[in-house]
A = this chain, B = another copy of it.
Amino acid sequence: MKNRLKVLRAERGWSQQDLAERLEVSRQSVNAIETGRYDPSLPLAFRIADLFGMTIEEIFQRGE
């Protein structure tokens, strides 16, 4: 899965640490998702979508 997390985060001027705190996950998890090492769980994907006010489909897309 690809995702637009890095851009969305950068648009808001947040560090990975900032985002991690808002999502209540570790900084390493944010980094791993951004760098494509693994996909978030479905519950976490929902929290991400909620935080950015978007749908899961707008943030995550199929591919690689």
A residues contacting B by CB (< 8 A) are: 1, 39-43, 45-46, 49, 55-57, 60, 62
Contacts and interface: CB of A to CB of B under 8 A. Distances in A.
Nearest to A3: B42
Contacts of A57: 49, 55-57
A41 B43 CA distance: 9
Contacts of A60: 42, 46
A24 B42 CA distance: 18
Contact of A39 (B1, B43, B49, B62): B43
Contacts of A56: 42, 45, 55-57
Nearest to A50: B62
Nearest to A40: B42
